[in-house]
A and B are shown apart, each in its own frame.
Chain A
Amino acid sequence: GNSVTQMEGPVTLSEEAFLTINCTYTATGYPSLFWYVQYPGEGLQLLLKATKADDKGSNKGFEATYRKETTSFHLEKGSVQVSDSAVYFCALTLDTGRRALTFGSGTRLQVQP
């Protein structure tokens, strides 16, 4: 079946530090990959997406590259801010068959001033 594995959190960083949150996936077929972010007390917001191998999704300084050879979609940001503190979810969906999102367990990021 399909699954998404994320690194355990929480990840605690100082402001302006470099961020990497690892995500790997298992899928039957060719998935589209997403990162969602959940700020405290809010719902899930789409952060970025990539729909085919070697695509790079980017938004708000965050980037992730769809790596088919390593089945990975790691989230990176060069310089985090306190306002980036949130829970980050990696997710996938397939273009055929099941369109439901399969989520990872989420990684909590805490950025300290």
Chain B
Amino acid sequence: EPEVTQTPSHQVTQMGQEVILRCVPISNHLYFYWYRQILGQKVEFLVSFYNNEISEKSEIFDDQFSVERPDGSNFTLKIRSTKLEDSAMYFCASSATGGGNQPQHFGDGTRLSIL
């Protein structure tokens, strides 16, 4: 069964450094998403992406965050200048269409630790 893959599985970064999290969505999917889960808290939506542009974003997704689909397969989340509070598990997801009844398929996540 096709799956969403994320790399790396664990990223340790110094505060203030830039970090890029990578995702390969399912190949025929058109909508892509990033979520995060701070330890012990809910899974929170960050951003969705369709047709090479952001379709919606949450209040968490401020100017420090950006997303890109640099080629036909990768979907990346960049944090420009990391803060301690960015430490979390980051999940990428994709769906075939953007309909609300379409399930989103998740990767195994990248654990980001900011020191």
Contact = CB atoms under 8 A, between A and B. Distances in A.
Given A99-B31, A100-B33, A101-B35, A46 B105 contact: yes
Report the contact-size class of chain B (Cβ under 8 Å from the partner): 20 to 34
A31 B98 CA distance: 14
A99 B48 contact: yes
Given A46-B105, A104-B42, A95 B99 contact: yes
A102 B103 contact: no
Interface string A20-58: 000000000001101010000111111001010000000
Interface stretch (B11-19, B66-74, B80-88, B106-114): B106-114
Interface string A86-112: 000101011110111111111000000
B92 to A, nearest CB: 9
Interface residues of A, number: 27
B101 A49 contact: yes
A32 B108 contact: no
Interface string B1-43: 0001010000000000000000000000001010100000111
B103 A96 contact: no
Given A44-B91, A100-B48, A106 B104 contact: no
Given A44-B91, A106-B42, A99 B98 contact: yes
Contacts of B101: 32, 49, 51, 93, 95
A100 B58 contact: yes
A46 B103 contact: yes
B65 interface: no
A98 B99 CA distance: 10
Given A43-B109, A100-B45, 13 more contacts: A41-B108, A44-B91, A44-B93, A45-B106, A46-B103, A51-B101, A91-B43, A93-B101, A94-B100, A99-B48, A101-B43, A105-B41, A105-B42
Interface of A: 31-32, 34, 36, 41-46, 49, 51, 89, 91, 93-96, 98-106
28 contacts: A32-B100, A34-B103, A36-B106, A43-B6, A43-B91, A43-B106, A43-B107, A43-B108, A43-B109, A44-B93, A44-B106, A46-B104, A46-B105, A51-B101, A89-B43, A93-B100, A95-B101, A96-B100, A99-B48, A99-B98, A100-B33, A100-B45, A100-B58, A101-B35, A101-B43, A102-B45, A103-B44, A106-B43
